[in-house]
Structure 1
Amino acid sequence: MKITIATWNINSLRLRQGLLHKLMAGLAPDVICLQETKVPDELFPEAIAGEIGFAHVLKRGMKGYNGVAILSRLPLVLAENTPDWCAKNDCRHISARLETGGLPLTLHNFYVPAGGDIADREQNVKFGHKLDFIAEARAHFAAYPPGRSVLVGDLNIAPLENDVWNHKQLLGIVSHTPVETQGLNAWMAEGFVDALRHFVPPEQKLYTWWSYRNRDWEASNRGRRLDHVWVSRDLEAGLVGCEILREARNWEQPSDHVPVSVTLKLD
């Protein structure tokens, strides 16, 4: 079977839930992973899943910030034993077993800390938190190597030179500093493949985020690739295609991130 998994930092689900209809029209996914839902579980707008034809919802949210969710056509079972990253209980990860008709697929949905503005852990505790989170995630997947797994989310790091609009200018900017990119690549190396770069050569510019500060984001095109899809190495041969829904940055009241999807052929 083929399955399409989409990921999107929606930047407030209650504010932008209507845009999920546009996401469905643009990408036709079987599963949607959301980050920054910014809603506690008891206030989660469950009805939107039904409106877009998804019968299964898992969520982990809190008031005002963070929050992750998975909406699916296919049955899901929550993975209960996921780590409490950095002992903060701050709703940055949800994992599930996805029933595909054959062997199940493990799905991880992450929202990595942004890290603040100063790229120095001594001066900026948020940056320290980000580095610690990445290190813990790497260690976890080193201890539990992924198999038949997909990891998606807003990982808040643009790891390659052409994942940012100007590599040299952004080397000192949080999201593209060497310590962050090395950490993210080390995490991915614990058993994953970069699914987007499987299709788009590293020499080609690739962005999923454009700042709200850019009045004309399209003309300036100062983007970064902060949103990722990784697949475990055993799934690489099944990669069929990927899409970045760039037009979403022009939707009414848009997120600063755009939806991304990857399609897999499963045995």
Structure 2
Amino acid sequence: MTFSKVSVPQLEPVKRAREYNLYDDSTRDRAIFEYLFNSESHRWIDEHVIGLKSNESRGYQAMGILHFIGLKNIHKGIFNGKSIQEAILILEDQKYDFNLVLDCLYRLTNQSKKSWNLVDIIFEDIESEKAEEESYYTDGAVKKYYGKRFERNPENRRKAIEIHGLNCFACGFNFEKVYGERGMDFIEVHHLKLLSTLGEEVIINPKEDLVPVCSNCHRMIHRRKDHVLSIEELKAMIIRKDWSL
């Protein structure tokens, strides 16, 4: 592919910076990525990246972030099917200024280089979770069961975290913001489809089947076996807190 022949529409930035300044680089980077690479809507980004109720926010937070940078509908999904590195090469070859978008992609590239560290962290977290179970270190036959509240496949868990981030889908809680270094890269992962309704071996789609949730929300989702809550049901119960403070 000859990148020099790929033309990207010029950015159309606006002066309003309120929404852009309201969020950190990580949130802005994920919003930009989902918009450019996955064609996600403003409402989707508000709910799945920023952690808002899209029927209330109506996509205005994501719109504010993207519009400040200058990303409009003509840019939506422009890098569908391309890698981040390919997008960087394309933007570096443009005659217009794409520095804010490039800064985002450079950060995402650095994050992917560190992804192997995330795998190690996930393995440690899974072992810690297993250690909480009474039978984990006892002798005897292994019991087969479904409905565990932890996703034990490290690769699925890693992909879910890389896709959805580390903020709780229900309440927006972020462990690192509250607990500092000890909470870095930690979140539990919830199956949107109950494992008890699936067969013994299924293919899990981390984007569609798994979401990150904090420990409290995860317990509340599964607290009643006869009524496991959906994310939407739990959101409706929550009095939202601002965990960024």
Q: TM-score, normalised by structure 1?
A: 0.27
- Which is richer in helix? 2
Largest Rg, 1 or 2: 2
Q: TM-score, normalised by structure 2?
A: 0.28
Higher relative contact order (CA 8 A, sep 6+): 1
- Which is richer in strand? 1
